[in-house]
Structure 1
Amino acid sequence: MKITKVDIYMLDAGAQRASRRPICCRVWTDEGIYGDGEAGIAFDYAAPAGVGMLQDLSRLIIGMDPMRVDAIWEKLFKLTFWGQGGGPVVFAGISAIDIALMDIKGKALNVPVYELLGGKFRDNVRCYASQLQFGWNEKIGPWGPTQEYVDICKYAMSEGYDAVKIDFIAYDREGKDIPYEECEGFLSHDLYALAEERIAAIRQECGHLDIIMENHGRSDSISAVKLGELCDKYDLYCLEEPTTVLNTEFHKRVQRRIRTPIGSGERIYTRWQYLNFFRDNSIQLVQPDACNCGGITEGKKICDMAHAFDVKAQIHCAGGPISTAAALQLTAAITNFAIYEHHFRSTQPAITCLGKYDYQPKNGRYKIPDLPGLGQELSDFAIKTALVHVTVTEP
């Protein structure tokens, strides 16, 4: 079997187009089997670079045997030169190809991808409703008043979720953006009080609901410690991305001052970049994204490494339907699983229509797809309406 061509797409997420442009690829073989992959830079400002990166990477795999997944990964890592420098664009491109190759391999062997990773460890997974400050399902935010935060949590609970994730300092009391500089350094009394008011109200009215505080790396090590004190006080499940991942010392400073576990990883790439976080125990919940950490195969290696350091794993998932499928296949096979992220965006029709199947949790739990390969592929609608389509056929 040989790779004959690669189709690259920037998908149209309709109502979410301003903030979401999923970058996907379809790798074709001379036996008619194809596999779909996704590059995990769909949101904000890097999506167009993903298209160009995939064009360059695709030229390196034309004519290769798609079953030799690790050999292709090493070629992309070493021969690109920039691969060994790290970064989201390069590794998002490598990830998309790796996912597509695993999809091909699963289809060729007529097994789900999780069988290629050591087999299924669980049949279904506990989910948390992620990023409720944006809304949930048909209830669209952003939220301002504290009662709206309580109400959206209760709504998620009514659908069977017993865990949620919220960025408590993303929006002010009117639902307007809080500038990132206000989230750094010495927090104002008003901002700290706003965060505590929201957390306390949810805890009081929602009982033993597990709550993850999302900081999106907007706090620094000074403000993160203060916010971490609230996590400790109200018994939160986890503090996510408390500060930038560019200096592992910052996470360690926060970890030494609070009891709440720290989660991070959606902007850390490959096992090499994760290693220092594991060595100093500055992350207790590792969150690799299969679509930018290096792919499904690299995500498995990262999670296995985390297991050796007594670190639990949750696959970050905030992209399109291929991202969800890849995350579910990886989640099925890892041994140190903690919880699964079901993102607000993944509940929206503008995203779900881009996949052939609409996988959604029931009663707060996802069932692992059992179809060959990823168990998902791009819909005809996604391909027909793509904003950009490029085909690579030659090295």
Structure 2
Amino acid sequence: MRITKLEPIILHAPVTRGGIADSTHSITHWGAPGVAIHTDTEHVGYGFSGTHAHLPTDKLITSCITDAFGPLLLDEDPRDVRGLWEKLYRQSEIYWVGRCGITHLALGAIDIALWDLKCKAQGLPLWKVLGGHASNKVEAYNTDGGWLNWSMEDLVSDCKRMIEEEGYRAVKIKVGGDSGTEDLRRVEAVRQALGPEVRIMTDANGRWPLPVAIQLGSRLADYDITWIEEPIAFDDTMGHKRLAESISTPIAMGEQLYEAFRFRDFIQAGAVHYVQPDIVRLAGITEWWQVADLAHSFNLPVVPHVGDMAQVHQHLCIAHPACGLLEYIPWLRDWMKHPAEVVDGFFTTPDYPGAGMEPTPEALETINQL
């Protein structure tokens, strides 16, 4: 099997109710810039990144894929995934102008597509190629009802619906609004509505200064919150360490970390309790696995940031022993041939060959409309 062509792809999928907001951004669409890697066989591998559907940025990612990395991949055997990852990371001229950000997102999309090809060539799902077992069940927690632009009534209603009608046992709600007092009111209202048995996660998306995070974070324990996610600036290792030493609510973070080295620093500092790597920012499955192994060696749970990549992340969670819980956001489910499925609060085990990121024919038809 040899690589013959890299075809850039950009998908823009509408989000829930036409628009959502957290503490830092409001968006109407989720972007999925990526690549289709064609071979001299019938197999095509698909991989995507994730953005806020900003077309100029998405084009920078796809240009990096095809123009910077593409020439290094032509005529290579796509099944040599880890070797090709090292080649692209260390031998490309990209190494000298950026080892995270756009370049890492581009490498991540390629890596996912290569793993997709490797699995399709074997006729197996990704989780099985990685050594997983079908009996490994992955619980889902739902984030898509906890947005900051929801009213208090809508927030409570959506969270109750997820528990009572859809079978979830855990939900996440956004905090980090203009008023810390209002944040706590929203958390309290959800806890009262859902009762003591449901797990509630919170996410500030890096909004709080450290003193505010200490003050509000200490109050979250009153509502038995499972974690506070990204409470302060994403890259502040020592600030997260000080916060972890100051509050009893565990800290979750990692979706904005682009390299395994950064996870090493946070973990060794005791600055994180739930590790949240994302294959998009970590340059794909290959580097994600390194982080999951690292977290596992410190006996820390790995709960991937979904980035609407539940299709791939569910495979990884089935395969890796540090995982048992995964975020669910359904924005891309109508755009993918094999969307992630949740039944009674657990992801169903995929049985199709590949990594699960192959778009539907209808989704591919939208590419030229952007």
TM-score (norm 2): 0.90
Shift of 1:205: 2.2
Is the CA contact 2:255–2:278 (under 8 Å) kept in the aligned structure 1?
Answer: yes
**Amino acid paired to 1:265:** G
Equivalence for 1:196: 184
Of the three residues 142, 151, 172, the one matched with 1:165 is 172
**Amino acid paired to 1:337:** C
Is the CA contact 2:69–2:88 (under 8 Å) kept in the aligned structure 1?
Answer: yes
Q: 1:134-168: per-residue Cα shift (whole Å, max 9, x none)? A: 3xxxxxx8312x33322221111121111111113
SS at match of 1:378: coil
Shift of 1:11: 1.2
Q: 1:283-311: per-residue Cα shift (whole Å, max 9, x none)? A: 11111111221211211111011111121
Shift of the 270–120 alpha-carbon distance from structure 1 to 2, 3 Å rule, reads: farther
Of the three residues 145, 149, 158, the one matched with 1:132 is 145
Q: After the TM superposition, which residues 314-333 of structure 1 pair with which residues of structure 2 at under 5 Å, given as runs?
A: 314-319=303-308, 323-333=309-319
Once structures 1 and 2 are overlaid, which stretch shifts more, 82-91 or 227-236? 82-91
Shift of 1:44: 5.6
Give the paired residue count: 355
Q: After the TM superposition, which residues 1-395 of structure 1 pair with which residues of structure 2 at under 5 Å, given as runs?
A: 1-14=1-14, 18-43=28-53, 46-55=57-66, 56-83=68-95, 85-120=98-133, 122-134=135-147, 142-144=149-151, 146-158=152-164, 159-170=166-177, 178=178, 191-208=179-196, 209-319=198-308, 323-343=309-329, 346=330, 348=331, 351-387=332-368
Q: Which runs of 4+ in 1 moved over 6 A?
A: none
Q: 1:316-351: per-residue Cα shift (whole Å, max 9, x none)? A: 1123xxx222111111111111411002xx1x5xx3
Say what the alpha-carbon RMSD is for the aligned residues: 2.1
**Amino acid paired to 1:385:** T
CA distance in 2, matches of 1:19, 1:160: 27
Is the CA contact 2:85–2:286 (under 8 Å) kept in the aligned structure 1?
Answer: no
Is the CA contact 2:237–2:266 (under 8 Å) kept in the aligned structure 1?
Answer: yes
Q: 1:96-122: per-residue Cα shift (whole Å, max 9, x none)? A: 111111111111111111122222374
- Report which structure shows greater RCO (CA 8 Å, sep ≥6): 1
Shift of 1:132: 2.1
TM-score (norm 1): 0.84
* Structure 2 unpaired stretches of 5+: 19-26
Is the CA contact 1:299–1:330 (under 8 Å) kept in the aligned structure 2?
Answer: no
* Structure 1 unpaired stretches of 5+: 135-140, 171-177, 179-190, 390-395
Q: 1:77-109: per-residue Cα shift (whole Å, max 9, x none)? A: 112344474322111111111111111111111
Is the CA contact 2:49–2:105 (under 8 Å) kept in the aligned structure 1?
Answer: yes
Is the CA contact 2:159–2:171 (under 8 Å) kept in the aligned structure 1?
Answer: yes
SS at match of 2:139: strand
Shift of 1:385: 1.0
Shift of 1:169: 3.2
Is the CA contact 1:11–1:388 (under 8 Å) kept in the aligned structure 2?
Answer: no
CA distance in 2, matches of 1:228, 1:21: 32
CA distance in 2, matches of 1:262, 1:222: 15
CA distance in 1, matches of 2:53, 2:212: 26
Equivalence for 1:185: none
Is the CA contact 2:132–2:320 (under 8 Å) kept in the aligned structure 1?
Answer: no
Once structures 1 and 2 are overlaid, which stretch shifts more, 356-365 or 231-240? 356-365
Shift of the 226–311 alpha-carbon distance from structure 1 to 2, 3 Å rule, reads: same
